[in-house]
Amino acid sequence: MTQLNRKLLRESLLRHRDKDRCCDEYSGPILDDRPVWHIVRNIGRKLSPPPRVFMPTTPPHDPEQSRRCVIADDVRVIREQLGQWMRELGYSVVHASCGATALAELRRQSPDIVIADIDMPHLSGLHLLQTVRSDADPKVAAIPVIVSSSLEDGEIQRMVGTLGGSAYLKKPVSKEQLCACVNYLTQGNTTIPLGENTSASHSVSARFRRIASEFREF
């Protein structure tokens, strides 16, 4: 490339680019005979803005923010079945094989709802219910508690209602029953009217009567 061609190329670049930036980049003489397209390509690389980095605006899902349910039942199959249905409703589930374990979990982190069987070792569902309702923390005392049982006794529903149970479900519990009950209680309703006892009024369960005899309300 002749000296004249180099001079014409430099003037052309200065006319079509920002003068200050081009002068900074090409203040010295062009010392080689590289083709024009190669020089222009390098200019474009130097003057191009840095690539934009897009950061996500939606925070990741925090499992701790989901609704929480404690399920207390000494029968594992029942716990797991109820737990599956509650997860489908959007709850994280904590399983407890007895009332004492459920109470410890409840005090560790207050749940949004509790489902408890009546006949459990160490601490029955009725004792768990009474303990929740008498808790000094108003938020704990107001937790909805669904009581369920396979025991046949005409006094079960009355006893559950007297102790402050939110609902009573006779076993076996269906998915439709559980979902309807949970949805009703989480819409601002504190209790579900117990209505007529599904157990025959003359039915008597020795196991239930022994548990209930420990309460002065019975």
pLDDT of residue 189: 79
pLDDT of residue 13: 60
**Phi and psi for 16 in degrees, rounded to 5?**
-100, 0
Q: Are 75 and 98 in contact (CB under 8 A)?
A: no
β-sheet with 113-117: strand ranges across: 91-96, 67-72, 113-117, 145-149, 167-170
Q: Are 42 and 84 in contact (CB under 8 A)?
A: no
Q: Are 69 and 86 in contact (CB under 8 A)?
A: yes
pLDDT of residue 218: 63
pLDDT of residue 66: 79
pLDDT of residue 191: 81
Residue with tokens 């039942």: 73
**Phi and psi for 210 in degrees, rounded to 5?**
-65, -45
* Dihedral sign computed on CA atoms, order 201, 206, 211, 213: positive
* Dihedral sign computed on CA atoms, order 213, 214, 216, 218: negative
Strand partners, 82: none
Domains of the chain as residue ranges with CATH: 3-47 (no CATH), 66-191+201-212 (3.40.50.2300)
pLDDT of residue 63: 47
**Which residues in the chain land under pLDDT 50?**
18-20, 22-27, 30-32, 37, 40, 43, 53-61, 63-64, 196-199
pLDDT of residue 124: 96
pLDDT of residue 216: 76
